[in-house]
Structure formats: C-alpha cells, structure tokens
A and B are shown apart, each in its own frame.
Chain A
C-alpha cells in the first residue's frame, strides 16, 4: 500500500517538532479525513541576500501518509528561497515519496497547503504584498481550518499557540 519511502519518513520523520518564536506558522486541517498539520518556519538570508527557509519543523495529527508528507515537504522546502518554497506543490511531494495510494493524495495537498500558509503568515506579518493566488489559497485554508476547529473544539483550546 505505502512505498518504502513513505514508511521511512513515517517511522523516522525529519524536522519533527516545533520552533519557538517562528516567523510563520501554517495551521491546516483536512475537512474530509480530519488530519491536522502545523508547520513552522524561521526565515534566514542566503549569500545573495534572498530570504530563505532557514529552519522548518512540523507537528501533525494524522495517518502515516500525513506524517510522511509533512516530513517530506519540510525536507523539500529547507534552505529554498521563499519563492521556490511556494512553488512546491502536492505533485512534488507525491513524487518525492515515490507515490501515494490514491485515497491518500489529499495528505500531500495538506502538506503543500501548510507550507504555503506558513509563508503567507510570514509575509502578512511583515506587511509584504501577497500574491493573489496565495491570498485565495489562504482564504480556503482558513475556511477549512474553522470547520476542523469545530470538530476538535476541546483540543484546540488546550493548545493555543
């Protein structure tokens, strides 16, 4: 069912945990299966003075595919410029994991959304212009998050970050 790569990332996820005082946090939830993913980024600069993802970590409540896609998206995004990171899509995540079962594709959408949302949060904190596409994506993610928060009401309150 799962590729060896998925199993590896699930058993030993990379970049697990949280970052204290992150520059951006992407909190996303999947309204279909109920998985929740929080992705933290710390922004740094590269030699050319471009902003890059200096540090990245995740926390995920979900199945093996949700944990593996979280791990993979953090690996793909690490040290990339924010623009490059933003272009990472679900297909990149799926391909890097040597594919996912069809019923689990939505997990890769969640991972890519979490990364984009973290970047959105950073740019919006810095009052940077937000590309239209990212803004629309943020609006969709927000709506889905609201539904998920209702689903797990007691749990979200216990963990206000």
Chain B
C-alpha cells in the first residue's frame, strides 16, 4: 500500500507509466477480492465507504428500476446509512417496508414473503448486525428474492473477512464490504454487483469504476483493502474459532458475575467478535467512560450517547424499553484480543457496574 502514496503516485485513469502502474494495482486489488469472494462474473465497484456502497445500492437500484416497481424492503435494524437512504427514497415517492425483528434481532422470512409485492424491486437485509452481532438468515432470504425475481442486497460490512460468504449459494445480487472493519485503511469499501443488476450511478463525472462511481480512485486505500482482505480470509477459520471461544467466555463470565445483566442479540447466531450486554439500573455512557478510564474501549446504544438523545433503533426494534436500552454496552473483540484481556475485563466490569448502581436511585 505505502508505495502508492509516494513513488507510485499515479492516477489510474492516466496514460503515462505511473498511471498505468496504479491502474494495474487497482486491477490486481479487484482480482484479489473477486478471488476471495469466488466470483467470476459481475463486478466489484470500489467506493469510499460502506455508507457510500449502501447509498449506491439502494438509490442506484431504485432509480434504475422505476418502470419495474417502486417498493423496497429493508429490516428495521439496518445501519443508519441504509435506513436514511430508504427514508430519502420515500421522500422521492418510493414505498419502503421496514421488516420487524424478533427479540434476538432475527428477520423472519415469513414476514418477508408477506411484504413482497409485484412492485418490489429490492430487498436489503444486512448479513450481520453491527450493534448486537445477530447473523441474519440471508441464504433463505436470498433464495426467496431469487424466486420472486427481486434484487437482493446485503450489507456485509460486519461479516466480510470474518465469517464465510457464499455469493452464488446465498443468491446475493449485491454486497457491501468495507476495508477498515478488517484492519485495512479507512476510506475504501466496495459494492459487488451481479451481471443482472440494473443500477444507476449516484455520483456523476469522469466515469471511473464502470461509470458507477465517478471520482479519482483512492488507489493506496484500495491496495491496502485488498491486502487486509487477503489476510482476513486466510485467518478467517482459526480467528473465527478463537474469537468465538473468547466471546463465549466473556458472555458467560459477565452473565454469571453480574446480577441484572442480560445478553442483547442471539446467543448462537452471532458474530464471533461481538458482545452486547445490558445492565439494569445503570446508564451505558457512564459504563463506557468508567471502562475507558480502566483502559477498555467500548460503546453503547444509550440515548445519552446519541446526538439525538434517542436510544439505538436496533435495541428498540428488539422490543427493549428505554430503561433497558439505557444500560447497554457493546464490546467488540478483534485480532489483538487475548484471553488475558477478557480476564481483565471480567475482573473490572463487575466493580464498575456495582459502583454505578450504588450511585443510581434504582436498586434491585
């Protein structure tokens, strides 16, 4: 990646030598990722972020398929960039169905069957949820969409390089993946498109990326993205096993040690690296900042940590009330998480919760 910031500085759209080199690097990155995803048709469009890929998927397909229909289906727990794109399309006259999820965050395929109409042009359901880690039944969803002739997009930002993805077997027409989620540089992501997808660009200009994403291509970030993907896919099986063990240790440890603690998301159908708890009578931002002081980085879906002062839409979709969502804590494991670090967290977290409960007017 680094040479493409300096001596191989060329613009891949230019004809001169360094430009050609950059273009070859771009092709090679595209081929690497196509190989990892085992695709030999369709195309990989590089974008600047998963947010951009999801915007392109929803808006691009909606605008290109107007004569086919005006209806889209997404789940209620999609990332904000999908929900906001859907909401924007609603403003433009499209209809959107937001599929509910059960208490574990799972979409029900029967709900999808009921929601599909003759007007439906796109179904977008994430592969796994970023907050609660629940893995959606996308194989079933993909098959349903294929039977009904509806394009299926999945936001795989959380799963690409972490758990297996089978583009053909899952009937995926479009897939979003992001570089920085797999330790690649920020500023690179992709949208895979099967040959059948009819899509319009949402950024117009010089016609880069098959005319679907005009902008000078961010070669260094994309080269880094491909390298990071290569490493992640190579480590996927072993890392998946290792992280699942650590994750379960963390879940069991916390639920056993801390009274009034609960797991958010599915106990089994969940990302190897995601843990999301909630604790009665304490607020999430307080937990996060107390943990921060102890050297642990975490996040929360509490209303207090949101600029809009509303609890996370994912936690609300699970059926949690305001108080329950208030006490949520997300912990993410990664390549540098160790048993020792999990042990350390299990040692310090009960004290943090206990102390905040002592300050809280609510007690069990």
Q: Would you call A11 and B293 a contact (CB within 8 A)?
A: yes
Question: Which residues from 20 to 62 on chain A have a C-beta closer than 8 Å to any C-beta of chain B?
Answer: 27, 32-38, 59-62
Number of A interface residues, CB 8 Å? 32
In the complex, chain B residues whose CB is within 8 Å of the CB of A66? 283, 304
Known contacts A66-B283, A159-B363: does B326 contact A34 (CB below 8 Å)? Answer: yes
What is the CA–CA distance of A10 and B304 in the complex, to the nearest angstrom?
14
Which of B23-31, B48-56, B199-207, B354-362 has 4 or more CB atoms under 8 Å from chain A?
B354-362
Q: Would you call A103 and B293 a contact (CB within 8 A)?
A: no
In the complex, chain A residues whose CB is within 8 Å of the CB of B321? 151
B129, CB-defined interface residue at 8 Å:
no
Q: Would you call B283 and A61 a contact (CB within 8 A)?
A: yes
B302, CB-defined interface residue at 8 Å:
yes
In the complex, chain A residues whose CB is within 8 Å of the CB of B281? 61, 155
Nearest CB in chain B: distance from A133 CB, A:
26
Known contacts A64-B289, A67-B286: does B359 contact A33 (CB below 8 Å)? Answer: no
Q: Would you call A59 and B359 a contact (CB within 8 A)?
A: yes
In the complex, chain A residues whose CB is within 8 Å of the CB of B326? 34, 61
Closest residue to A148 on the B side, CB-wise? B322
Question: Which residues from 62 to 108 on chain A have a C-beta closer than 8 Å to any C-beta of chain B?
Answer: 62-67, 103, 106
Q: Would you call A62 and B358 a contact (CB within 8 A)?
A: no
Question: Which residues from 247 to 301 on chain B have a C-beta closer than 8 Å to any C-beta of chain A?
Answer: 280-283, 285-286, 289-290, 293
In the complex, chain A residues whose CB is within 8 Å of the CB of B106? none
Nearest CB in chain B: distance from A128 CB, A:
26
B93, CB-defined interface residue at 8 Å:
no
Question: Which residues from 123 to 161 on chain A have a C-beta closer than 8 Å to any C-beta of chain B?
Answer: 151-152, 155-156, 158-159
B208, CB-defined interface residue at 8 Å:
no
B246, CB-defined interface residue at 8 Å:
no
Q: Would you call B360 and A35 a contact (CB within 8 A)?
A: no
B303, CB-defined interface residue at 8 Å:
yes
What is the CA–CA distance of A106 and B303 in the complex, to the nearest angstrom?
13
B323, CB-defined interface residue at 8 Å:
yes
Q: Would you call B362 and A34 a contact (CB within 8 A)?
A: no
Q: Would you call A62 and B283 a contact (CB within 8 A)?
A: yes
Which residues of A are interface residues toward B (Cβ below 8 A)? 2, 7, 10-11, 13, 16-17, 27, 32-38, 59-67, 103, 106, 151-152, 155-156, 158-159
